Amino acid sequence: MRARRLAAVAVAALLAMTGCSSPAADEPIGGGSSGPAGPGSGAAGPVTVLAAASLTESFTAIGTRFEQVNPSAEVSFSFGGSAGLAQQIIAGAPADVFAAASPTTMKTVTDAGAATGTPVTFARNQLVIAVPKGNPKGLATLAALAGSGIKVALCAEQVPCGTAAGKALSAAGVRLTPVTLEQDVKAALAKVKLGEVDAALVYRTDAKAAAADVDGVEFPESAGAVNDYPIVALEDGPNPAGAAAFLTFIRTPEAQRILTDAGFQQP
């Protein structure tokens, strides 16, 4: 009983805090900017961004820069498998921006009428073979992954990195039986980091982010399975101005440079 009452108080306090913070943060800009949102204008208060797991590092960096340019804005991210995030959005998760790892996943959101405007592709990603540091098994091609005694982790076909892996493998004419089908790209990479598998097909960006433990081996067939990353503002987002500002910021040269540094390609 007491725990429940405490929880209720905590929730009430939280609501009061969020309720207060946005008008207070609006005030300083309220006088001037009502035009189209650009970098450094129009964004205030909390902006909630749901983004694919593979965007974790680059979006965190972009979020920090965005907050520096828009001091009264506060970005919070929720990273996860694109499809799971899409389901949350359709179910009414209170978020402003959605960045997916595949157009197919984005389509489920736009089809459900949960997005405003058309999604824009802001980055592209390719698969690499992630192997433990130093590539102890000397895996250099997709065909080598089908060798006997090689343990491979792939993403489940339901998530974008799994779809891309399927495409690349069929383009290479390689049939392999993975030991596990992971729920997102970070989970597949974690299995390589822990040394439980010899290789995983992950995005180049993920291999790069884990460069301390993992090497990324490029392979030609990945060109046939390039993933487009679309981003869109959400219909029921509590902060449309903030969403618009974030969408504009993502296409600035500065944000694009952060993405390229992380291993993404420009659209």
Partner 1 sequence: MLPLAGLLIRAPWTTLPQRLTEPGVLAALRLSLLTATLATVVCLLLGVPLAWLLARARFPGRRLVRALVTVPLVLPPVVGGVALLLVFGRRGLVGGWLDATFGFSLPFTTTGVVVAEAFVAMPFLVISVEGALRGADPRFEEAAATLGASRWTAFRRVTLPLIGPGVAAGAVLCWARALGEFGATITFAGNFPGRTQTMPLAVYLALEQDLDAAIVLSLVLLVVSVVILAGLRDRWLGTS
Residues tagged in the binding site annotation for molybdate: 54, 82, 185, 203
Residue 128 binds partner 1, judged by CB under 8 A: no
Residue 193 exposure: Cα atoms within 13 Å on the Cβ side: 15
Residue 224 binds partner 1, judged by CB under 8 A: no
Q: Exactly one of 65, 124, 137, 151 binds partner 1 (CB under 8 A); which one?
A: 151
Nearest to 71 by CA among 45, 50, 34, 98: 45
Asked whether 231 and 97 are in contact (CB, 8 A), the reply is yes
Residue 68 binds partner 1, judged by CB under 8 A: no
Cβ atoms within 10 Å of 50's Cβ, excluding its own? 24
Q: How many residues lie near partner 1 (CB under 8 A)?
A: 20
Residue 38 binds partner 1, judged by CB under 8 A: no
Q: Which residue lies nearer to partner 1 by CB, 29 or 202? A: 202
The region of 19-27, 118-126, 177-185, 228-236 touching partner 1 under the rule CB under 8 A is 177-185
Residue 153 binds partner 1, judged by CB under 8 A: yes
Residue 67 has which token pair?
Answer: 């907050």
Residue 156 binds partner 1, judged by CB under 8 A: yes
Residue 159 binds partner 1, judged by CB under 8 A: yes
Q: Which residue lies nearer to partner 1 by CB, 18 or 158? A: 158
Residue 158 binds partner 1, judged by CB under 8 A: yes
Residue 248 binds partner 1, judged by CB under 8 A: no
Residue 179 binds partner 1, judged by CB under 8 A: yes
Q: What is the x/- site pattern for partner 1, positions 83-112, by CB under 8 A?
A: xx--x-------------------------
Q: Which residue lies nearer to partner 1 by CB, 62 or 156? A: 156
Chain positions contacting partner 1, by CB under 8 A: 81, 83-84, 87, 151, 153, 156, 158-159, 178-183, 187, 191, 194-196
